[in-house]
Amino acid sequence: MSIAVTVKNILKTYGKKKELVTALQDINFDVKTGELFGIIGPDGAGKTSLFRILTTLLLADSGTATVDGFDVVTDYKQIRKRVGYMPGKFSLYPDLTVQENLAFFATIFNTSIDENYDLIKDIYIQIEPFKDRKAGKLSGGMKQKLALSCALIHRPSVLFLDEPTTGVDAVSRKEFWEMLKRLKEQGITILVSTAYMDEASLCDRVALMQDGNIMSIDTPAQIVANFGRTLWAVRSGNMLHLLDELNTMKEVENAYPSGTFHHVILKKGYTDAFLQQALSETNNNLEIKAIRPNIEDCFMQLMRR
Amino acid sequence: MTNEKIITADKLSKRFGDFVAVNEISFEVCRGEIFGFLGANGAGKTTAMRMLCGLSLPSSGEATVAGFDVYRENEKIKKSIGYMSQKFSLYEDLTVKENMRFYGGIYGKSDAFIKQKTASVLEQLHLQKEANKLVRSLPLGWKQKLAFSVAIFHEPVIVFLDEPTGGVDPVTRREFWHMIYQAAENGITIFVTTHYMDEAEYCNRVSIMVDGNIEALDTPSALKQIYQSASMDEVFLKLARKATRADG
């Protein structure tokens, strides 16, 4: 399988001596052609800096990177012709209509809406009834669909989506990921960043990022398999009290709330039998079960290293 | 939590021309309650929140916040509430201490109050060493926690949190909720919107808006039972999928 993106020893800093911020520290990874690759991490992890370097909009301090075989520094013009980029901030022309924006992006890439309509049809058809509306007057969800259509209209080989689902509700997020799946089937390589950990499972492979570092790169299933510890889900009639109690126990390595349960990792040598015994007197309706960790559990465990 | 009503809304509505953004919503929120205000984008959450914060006059219906009427006493409401969103919170080019003095001053607090409260907030957040640093230089997770402390610096009756944890790392997100619990225990009512459905589980009660209406309102466990769902995520999807209007 061929490689669409390579990143080698990329370092990026901002500011000078005293206020030096390291946005990316020695980043390395490859993305295969046709892969749906997720960069998962909170704000400030370095996701946007990385995307801007790969789309040739920002220069790294050191290291090399290629997109579609082209170097991001020397061959930037080639890359700009081949990639689609949807920035985190809405960046279309608010005073042009929906159709004018799309026609504008088609024209600057020397193509036409008709030529590549099949690629965007599924997405564009949803905003077509509003094609004469100014882009600035669209709702959040419609802006997102227009931005994606504009990023696709020149049939890019690699698509970069920087936090496309931030601030988007759970229903629209699901729909957006379904659109991505269909684009992937068309053979487009997709790099997508998100702060929502639950979206990791929808990617072929993910890089978990924090503070300018990649903590782990793997398939979502393998990241979960690498968790390496037993994770216990615990609940009782008084969750707040239960959490305080868990956090004072020296046998507990980590305990934190996660929806309806608290997730608990015990120090080596301890099992649910210990929890049952330790908690049953002070808690009513106690329930303890071993569960499969999710990506957020894995992320938190990696953060502790 | 007590039975004292901090928010009462009765058939509260807001229309923009023909468009009914908020359609006769009725609910009550008690002192010290953590009330989750959910809904898809465009369901009418922001419009409803703006009315409750005294920033937008309703088209019809009644509502009081902290005992004040949203039509006639909106200036009093503004003084009684705290507000924080992911987007707007602190002044990056002021120091930690200056932000507190600024917000304390805006809400008309005395110098003595500001001095004493600043010391206690810095201690609570373990930020004593960073007191004179620009907010810009703080790690993002600290900023969010500081922003919450500043939003309740003037000891409001109720605080409105608009997606306070968007983009925050999972550890900080939990620390943030711990602070919410503490504030609620101290009698501050919490009115919070979020797109994280696990956070909906941490609320005492949750309302879900669909197309301008409150479609469901109950405790998370009751909602899961009513909609025969294993999680709030499922409840939300079942309800929000019924939406017919495009998001706004």
Q: Which chain A residue's Cα is nearest to B242?
A: A171
d(CA B47, CA B58): 9
Residue in chain A nearest B45 by alpha carbon: A169
Nearest Cα of chain A lies from the Cα of B68 at a distance, in angstroms, of 31
Report ipTM (2 d.p.).
0.85
- Every domain of chain A with CATH number 3.30.70.2070 lies at 231-303
Question: A233 in contact with B at a CB cutoff of 8 Å?
Answer: no
d(CA A135, CA A100): 9
Q: Which domain holds residue B154?
A: 5-240
**Mean pLDDT (whole number) for A88-117:** 95
Q: Which residues contact B116 (CB under 8 A, 6 or more apart)?
A: none
Q: Which residues of chain B have pLDDT under 50?
A: 248
Q: Which of A163, A168, A257 sits opposite B41 (nearest CB)?
A: A168
Instruction: Supply the pLDDT for residue B246.
Output: 59
Preferred mutation among B89, B169, B211 to probe A, highest tally of A CBs within 10 A: B169
pLDDT, average across residues A83-102: 95
Count how many residues are written for chain A. Answer: 305
Both tokens of A97, joined, read: 């209509």
The per-residue pLDDT for B88 is: 65
How many A-B residue pairs are in contact by the CB < 8 A criterion? Answer: 89
The chain A residue lying nearest B200, using CA atoms, is A259
A111–B contact, CB cutoff 8 A = no
The reply to whether B156 falls in a domain is: yes
**Are A43 and B246 in contact (CB < 8 Å)?**
no
Q: Do A197 and B195 touch (CB under 8 A)?
A: no
User: Which part of chain A is CATH 3.40.50.300?
Assistant: 3-224
Tokens (6 digits) for A149: 């259509």
Summarised one tens digit per residue, pLDDT across range A118-140 is 999 999 999 999 999 999 998 88
- In the sheet that A70-71 helps form, which strands lie side by side, from edge to edge? A21-32, A3-14, A62-67, A70-71
Superfamily per CATH, domain A231-303: VP9 protein domain (3.30.70.2070)
Q: Tell me which residue in B139, B240, B248 faces A170 most closely, judged by beta carbons.
A: B240
* DSSP of A137-184: GS-HHHHHHHHHHHHHTT--SEEEEESTTTT--HHHHHHHHHHHHHHH
Coil vs helix vs strand at B154: coil
User: Which of B40, B167, B171 has its CB closest to that of A166?
Assistant: B167
| Beta-carbon separation of A139 and B248 below 8 A | yes
Residue A92, CA distances (Å) to A103, A144, B19, B126 in order: 12, 10, 27, 43
Q: Which of A16, A48, A127, A171 to mutate to test the interface with B (most CBs of B within 10 A)?
A: A171
CATH architecture of the domain with residue range A3-224: 3-Layer(aba) Sandwich (3.40)
Mean pLDDT of A71-95: 95
Mean pLDDT, residues A19-27: 92
A167: confidence class by pLDDT, cuts 50, 70, 90: confident
Please judge whether B40 and A172 are an interchain contact, meaning their C-beta atoms are less than 8 angstroms apart: yes
Answer yes or no: do A139 and B167 touch at CB < 8 A: no
pLDDT, tens only, A218-260: 999 999 999 999 999 999 988 889 999 999 999 999 999 998 8
Does the residue B247 lie in any domain?
no
How high is the pLDDT of residue B85?
Answer: 86
Q: Report pLDDT digits (tens) over A153-166.
A: 999 999 999 999 88
User: How far apart (Å, rounded) are the C-alpha atoms in residues B207 and B244?
Assistant: 19
Looking at residue B248, its pLDDT comes to 44
Nearest to A7 by CA among B16, A46, B39: A46
- Rounded distance between C-alpha atoms, residue B136 and residue B130, angstroms: 11
Asked if residue B175 belongs to a domain, the reply is yes
Domain of B112, CATH number, reads 3.40.50.300
Q: Let me know if residue B245 belongs to a domain.
A: no
pTM of the model: 0.90
Residue B34 falls inside a structural domain: yes
Which residue on chain B is closest to A256 by alpha carbon? B174
Mean per-residue pLDDT, A279-303: 95
Give the model's pLDDT for residue B86: 75
Domain count, chain B: 1
Q: Please, which residues have CB within 8 angstroms of residue B106's CB and are 6 or more apart in sequence?
A: none
Task: Note the pLDDT of residue A1.
Answer: 66
Residues on chain B touching A141 (C-beta within 8 angstroms): 41-42, 246-247
Give percent of chain A with pLDDT exceeding 90.
86
pLDDT at A20: 87
Does the residue B246 lie in any domain?
no
**Chain A residue at shortest CA distance from B232:** A259
